[in-house]
């Protein structure tokens, strides 16, 4: 008797199938990156959703999943030197702290790789964020790391108090454009279920509100403050 807890293990042996992670009843399916098609991004409609409050937190599922992105922007005027190294060091830290490197649990996108499947283009980053949250269930732990350039662009919706969206810059930003905080929030935050925990580390300019979270911490006054036009979500 008792509750069955799913513990994530490397993608070897009979515990997994050929295209993703085996899950227990009630847990979502985690596909491998190489077979994850993703979908064209469309901004979700604005709406109000009911949220159940004062509930005990879900029991940890033991499942951990990570997306790591590092861009040095080689052969450009925007070149950086340490972003890929940041990702390599973060990967090793995660592996020492309960994460596993397998095709369905960890994805690394850097611009020093020969395969276009693992190049941090705008399309791959958006698809990677979709992959990260695909099959997320209460009790899961997700990790997102971006190291590269951040910027800003005009907000045409009127939602931003300063009139600007924060952005991250993919390796093909001159051709494909940047990824705004609205899209990052829509994909990584809005879509998560209650009880799923996402930890995000954004090592770039303008990253303080780079995910459009409803609260920011004022380190000078040592308290949390609510953003103008806050966007709340069900997940942690």
**Distance between CA atoms of 94 and 96, rounded to whole angstroms?**
5
Phi, psi of 163 (to 5 degrees): 75, 10
CA–CA gap between residue 84 and residue 71 (Å, rounded)? 6
Q: Active-site positions?
A: 149, 205
CB of 226 closer than 8 Å to CB of 180: no
């Amino acid at each position: 008797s008792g509750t069955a807890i799913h513990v994530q293990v490397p993608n070897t042996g009979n515990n997994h199938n050929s295209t993703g992670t085996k899950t227990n009843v009630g847990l979502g399916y985690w596909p491998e990156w190489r077979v994850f098609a993703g979908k064209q991004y469309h901004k979700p409609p604005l709406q109000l959703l009911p949220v159940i409050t004062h509930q005990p937190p879900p029991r940890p599922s033991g499942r951990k999943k990570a997306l790591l992105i590092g861009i040095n922007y080689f052969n450009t005027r925007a070149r950086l030197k340490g972003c890929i190294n940041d990702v390599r060091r973060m990967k090793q830290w995660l592996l020492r702290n309960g994460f596993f490197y397998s095709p369905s649990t960890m994805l690394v996108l850097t611009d020093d790789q020969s395969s276009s499947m693992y190049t941090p283009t705008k399309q791959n980053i958006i698809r990677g964020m979709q992959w990260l949250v695909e099959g997320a269930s209460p009790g899961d732990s997700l990790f997102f790391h971006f190291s590269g350039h951040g910027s800003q662009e005009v907000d045409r919706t009127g939602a931003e108090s300063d009139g600007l969206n924060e952005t991250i810059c993919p390796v093909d930003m001159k051709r494909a454009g940047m990824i705004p905080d609205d899209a990052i929030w829509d994909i990584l935050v809005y879509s998560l279920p209650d009880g799923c925990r996402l930890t995000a580390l954004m090592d770039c300019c303008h990253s303080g509100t780079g995910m459009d979270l409803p609260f920011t911490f004022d380190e000078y006054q040592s308290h949390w403050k609510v953003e103008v036009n806050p966007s709340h979500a069900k997940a942690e």
